[in-house]
């Protein structure tokens, strides 16, 4: 059994992680931290009968575990990750703190000076379908953002084949309310969110933009071509991204579909829908799947629909997928039968 610790176990991603790890045959959870509920048990915070004790971060010993999952807000995660790495524990960080390779870009978007820029070059962006070999060797994995997971998996086959043409790539994304975390806010207040559908930080204003631009550029595309418009939709969980991509006009729907098929042929968590079907949130919610569908509007104009569960493939599920790779385990352990 691999001994693990969870920082931020009382958040939505931390709680989802506990759900998954309880079914994982190779993991024992040694500690689970909480800021507000230290001293209580998980069953006091969520309606579950699990008596997992919650401890303050100061009382959690990363030296006693081989791996930690860090489910803290950005900014708070940085120092925790540094401490865990100093003890030798491998880290999967679910926050944004280690996703951007350039500490200056991090400061521009997150308004914080990076506390550990020395760790950034060794942090691997944890999108297994793209960076599997690097993740297998990594001690620190930066788990991708939820929106970026849905959008980058939709673009990767096209970028890899060099088929993205000039012009804007427009990602129109809709997320369930759990994407904003458990801490209440006016935006996620029931009366504001229910029966409503709201754009926010549209265009090039959302913090996930630089992370996606960075990865698109690394894959040979033009990161600056991305326009990203997120929306809040009144469901608990799920992301649906509808992505308008200019492609080479020589490609037919059939050839594009074949390219996606070839790229993802052996991927356990990519569900490419047959031609003519459209991906919906329901294809992916409560699973670690990314469901993809392709629609060719006219020669040169493709629409990819990409659906994930923000808390699973967009957070805790992908974190376990990364953990499995880092420890040389079967990649689907704990995830296949969600
Ligand atoms: N929600 C998503 O869909 C999603 C998807 C991908 C990535 N993420 C990222 O994953 C991380 C966790 O997100 P979440 O949605 O689980 O957040 P959340 O529901 O707000 O939970 C945050 C957790 O961190 C703890 N915490 C809050 N402030 C802290 C501080 N200053 N120091 C130490 N602990 C603190 C909370 O403890 P208490 O409950 O005890 O206060 C809670 O356990 C964030 O970085 C987020 O951006 C979230």
The pLDDT score that the predictor gives to residue 337 is 78
C-alpha closest to that of 279 among 164, 145, 173: 173
113 pLDDT more than 90 = yes
Asked if 291 contacts 283 with a C-beta cutoff of 8 angstroms, the reply is: yes
Q: Residue 93 — very low, low, confident or very high, per pLDDT cuts 50/70/90?
A: very high
Distance from residue 314's CA to the centre of ligand 1 (Å): 14
Q: Which residues contact 35 (CB under 8 A, 6 or more apart)?
A: 10, 56, 57
Residue 44 Cβ inside 6 Å of ligand 1? The answer reads no
Q: Residue 43 — very low, low, confident or very high, per pLDDT cuts 50/70/90?
A: very high
Residue 62 Cβ inside 6 Å of ligand 1? The answer reads no
C-alpha closest to that of 70 among 141, 22, 135: 141
Helices 317-326 and 128-137: crossing angle in degrees, nearest 10, is 40
Asked if 187 contacts 200 with a C-beta cutoff of 8 angstroms, the reply is: yes
290 pLDDT more than 90 = yes
Q: Averaged over 40-45, what is the pLDDT?
A: 97
94 pLDDT more than 90 = yes
If you count them, how many residues does the chain have?
338
Residue carrying the six token digits 């200019």 = 246
The pLDDT score that the predictor gives to residue 306 is 99
Domains along the chain? Answer: 2-144+313-326 (3.40.50.720), 147-310 (3.30.360.10)
Average pLDDT, the chain: 98
Atom of ligand 1 nearest to the CA of 80: 33
Give CA–CA dist 16/70, Å, rounded: 13
Measured in degrees and rounded to the nearest 5, phi and psi for residue 99 equal -85, -35
Q: Tell me the HSE value of 235 on the side-chain side, using a 13 A CA sphere.
A: 16
The pLDDT score that the predictor gives to residue 338 is 80
Distance from residue 301's CA to the centre of ligand 1 (Å): 38
pTM: predicted TM-score of the whole model, two decimal places: 0.98
- Sign for the CA dihedral angle at 271, 274, 279, 284 comes to negative
The pLDDT score that the predictor gives to residue 173 is 98
CA-nearest residue for atom 22, ligand 1, is 11
Q: Averaged over 216-221, what is the pLDDT?
A: 98
Residue carrying the six token digits 């037919």 = 252
Active site residue 290: no
Distance from residue 71's CA to the centre of ligand 1 (Å): 5
CA-nearest residue for atom 1, ligand 1, is 179
Residue 95 Cβ inside 6 Å of ligand 1? The answer reads yes
Atom of ligand 1 nearest to the CA of 182: 19
Tens-place pLDDT, residues 238-282:
999 999 999 999 999 999 999 999 999 999 999 999 999 999 999
Residue 318 Cβ inside 6 Å of ligand 1? The answer reads no
Backbone region of residue 184 per phi and psi (left: phi > 0; alpha: psi in -120 to 50; beta: other values): beta
């Amino acid at each position: 059994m691999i001994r693990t610790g969870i920082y931020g176990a009382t958040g939505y991603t931390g709680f989802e992680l506990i759900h998954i790890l309880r079914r994982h045959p190779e993991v024992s959870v040694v500690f689970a931290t909480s800021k507000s509920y230290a001293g209580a048990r998980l069953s006091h915070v969520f309606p579950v009968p699990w008596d997992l004790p919650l401890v303050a971060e100061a009382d959690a010993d990363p030296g006693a575990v081989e791996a930690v999952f860090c489910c803290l807000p950005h900014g708070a995660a940085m120092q925790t990750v540094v401490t865990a790495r100093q003890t030798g524990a491998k880290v999967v960080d679910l926050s944004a703190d280690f996703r951007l390779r350039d500490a200056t870009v991090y400061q521009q978007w997150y308004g914080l000076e990076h506390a550990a820029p020395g760790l950034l070059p060794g942090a691997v962006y944890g999108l297994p379908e793209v960076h599997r070999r690097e993740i297998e060797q990594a001690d620190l994995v930066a788990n991708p953002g939820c929106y970026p997971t849905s959008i980058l998996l939709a673009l990767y086959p096209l970028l890899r084949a060099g088929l993205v043409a000039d012009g804007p790539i427009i990602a129109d994304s809709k997320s369930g309310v759990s994407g904003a975390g458990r801490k209440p806010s006016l935006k996620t207040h029931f009366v504001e969110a229910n029966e409503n559908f709201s754009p926010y930080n549209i265009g090039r204003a959302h913090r996930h933009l630089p992370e996606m631009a960075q990865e698109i550029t690394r894959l040979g595309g033009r990161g600056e071509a991305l326009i990203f418009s997120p929306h809040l939709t009144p469901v608990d969980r799920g992301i649906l991204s509808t992505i308008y991509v200019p492609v080479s006009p020589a490609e037919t729907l059939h050839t594009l579909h074949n390219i996606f098929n070839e790229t993802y042929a052996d991927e356990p968590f990519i569900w490419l829908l047959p031609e003519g079907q459209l991906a919906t949130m329901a294809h992916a919610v409560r699973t670690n799947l990314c469901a993809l569908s392709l629609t060719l509007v006219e020669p040169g104009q493709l629409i990819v629909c990409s659906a994930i569960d923000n808390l699973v493939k967009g957070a805790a599920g992908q974190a376990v997928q990364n953990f499995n790779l880092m420890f040389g385990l079967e990649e689907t352990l704990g995830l296949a039968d969600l």
